[in-house]
A = this chain, B = another copy of it.
Amino acid sequence: MVAPLLTEGIGYIAACLTTFAFLPQVLKVWRTKSVRDISLVTYISLTLGVLLWFLYGLGIGSLPVILANGITLVLAASILIMKIRYSRRRPSRR
């Protein structure tokens, strides 16, 4: 087994990276209003999956799981909503 402290540190960095990973995608879609290359099915299953992880965190009473998945849920759901909204109209010139 690897040193527990090192493993824990890796876990925290991993949690930060995967929690905030979708922020640049939210900002890009918000700026360009262009969503053609983004997969609707990916963001439906991602939003649903993260929602279930959030409920799982509530079920086991784990604040890190609740917090990390709560933030990712907001970001993934924003992309999903914008994907649905902007799919109906032409993207703005860039």
What is A's interface to B at a CB cutoff of 8 Å?
1-2, 6-7, 10-11, 13-18, 20-25, 27-29, 32, 34-43, 45-46, 48-50, 52-53, 55-56, 58-61
Question: Contact between A11 and B46 (Cβ–Cβ < 8 Å)?
Answer: no
Q: What distance in Å separates the Cβ of A20 from its nearest Cβ neighbour in chain B?
A: 7
CA distance A55 to B38 in the complex (A): 28
Which residues of the other chain, B, contact A50 by a CB distance below 8 angstroms?
A: 14, 18
Partner of A61, one of B1, B14, B24: B1
**Separation in Å of the A14 CB from the closest CB of chain B?**
4
A17 touches B45 (CB 8 A): yes
CA distance in complex: A11, B34 (Å): 33
